[in-house]
Structure 1
Amino acid sequence: MATEIERKFLVRDTAVLAGLTGTKMAQGYLADNGMVVRVRVAGDRGFLTLKGKTKGLSRAEFEYEVPLEDAQALLAGFATLGRVEKIRYCIPVGDLIFEVDVFEKELSGLVVAEVELPTEEHPVPQLDWLGDEVSLDPRYRNSELAVSRTIPA
């Protein structure tokens, strides 16, 4: 079984993104009945992702590339549980890659960095541009943001 181990932080200084090229993403949620089913269009690629319930920092995750046209059709016609739009930037730091999401539309102003880890105990470097950790705050899950369409206070 595929497992995602992820920590999530608010970004306090977006200057770290200067000169980087991001990927525009639109993602929508198709189902949430103990397993979240998400469709994503990232640039010119489509993905279907299934995510289990989070336990600590870990959860089951299964992601499959699908034809772009299929992802676009799912996003347009079946993402009834909400959607988010963002630009994602990837920042390598040592053996890790931080994915920084700059949200758009109703969530404009929210910038979140996620880092996937090989184990829950793996150290995360202290970086000047990272703010508060929100890994365990469900309000910062993309699936929750898609529904609320508001930046958590």
Structure 2
Amino acid sequence: MAREIERKFLVGSDAWRSDVETSRHIVQAYVALDINTTVRVRISDGRKARLTVKFGLSRMVRDEFEYEIPLEDARQMVSANRDRLVEKTRYHVRHEGFVWEVDEYAGALAGLVIAEVEMQSEEDAPALPTWLGREVTGDGAWSNARLAVNGLPVEAQV
């Protein structure tokens, strides 16, 4: 089991693009979800698949269990859950000792860009890049699971 400790932000500009180190295409579908638990299947670059179970503990911390699964199984799970799907490209951007994951969404969420930084503890204080917008850590409306089910939050649709 791993503990995920992260902060999440909307992205305010494209200035991060010049610092991209790697990227991968992700398709993920939510097999099951409730208020504090999600089960998702993720296919990365059409080649690797993982099943992930997350349990919410606080605004910033979650327990995470992740397992590699056969690609064909993942494809079937994605197909069965097309109404709870997120498609995005994830970019890795290093900034002052931390690696930021910048997700640029496609499909119904096209135009949305969110950045997350994983930390070792809740006390970590990563330097915030200038290209970040509003912090949405702990705001469930911006979780991938809720975006997959509900689409963009109303405040983003104005």
The TM-score with structure 1 as length reference comes to 0.91
Equivalent in the alignment of 1:32: 33
The code of the aligned residue for 1:14 comes to: D
Equivalent in the alignment of 1:12: 12
Partner of 1:52, secondary structure, is: strand
Alignment of 1:60 with 2:63, yes or no, is yes
Q: Map 1:116-135; keep pairs closer than 5 Å.
A: 116-135=118-137
The code of the aligned residue for 2:144 comes to: N
CA-CA distance at 1:16 after TM superposition: 1.6
Alignment of 1:73 with 2:52, yes or no, is no
Structure 2: runs of 5 or more not aligned: none
The code of the aligned residue for 2:8 comes to: K
CA spacing shift, 1:16–1:107, aligned 2, 3 Å: same
CA-CA distance at 1:82 after TM superposition: 0.6
Q: Map 1:41-60; keep pairs closer than 5 Å.
A: 41-43=43-45, 44-60=47-63
- Structure-2 separation of matches of 1:115 and 1:70: 30
* Runs of 4+ off more than 3 Å: 18-21
Over residues 108-132 of structure 1, what are the superposed CA-to-partner deviations in whole Å (9 max), with x where a residue is unaligned?
A: 1110001110001100212111111
The code of the aligned residue for 1:111 comes to: V
CA-CA distance at 1:94 after TM superposition: 3.4
Over residues 15-57 of structure 1, what are the superposed CA-to-partner deviations in whole Å (9 max), with x where a residue is unaligned?
A: 3214745211110000114421000011121110000024131
- Structure-1 separation of matches of 2:29 and 2:56: 18
Partner of 1:63, secondary structure, is: strand
CA-CA distance at 1:67 after TM superposition: 2.1
The code of the aligned residue for 1:8 comes to: K
- Structure-2 separation of matches of 1:17 and 1:143: 25
Partner of 1:100, secondary structure, is: strand
The code of the aligned residue for 1:28 comes to: A
- Structure-1 separation of matches of 2:116 and 2:137: 9
Identical positions, percent: 40
The TM-score with structure 2 as length reference comes to 0.88
Partner of 1:22, secondary structure, is: strand
Over residues 78-116 of structure 1, what are the superposed CA-to-partner deviations in whole Å (9 max), with x where a residue is unaligned?
A: x26611111100012233210000011111111000111
- Structure-2 separation of matches of 1:105 and 1:2: 30
CA RMSD of aligned residues (A): 1.7
Is the CA contact 2:19–2:93 (under 8 Å) kept in the aligned structure 1?
A: no
Equivalent in the alignment of 2:114: 112
Is the CA contact 2:27–2:87 (under 8 Å) kept in the aligned structure 1?
A: yes
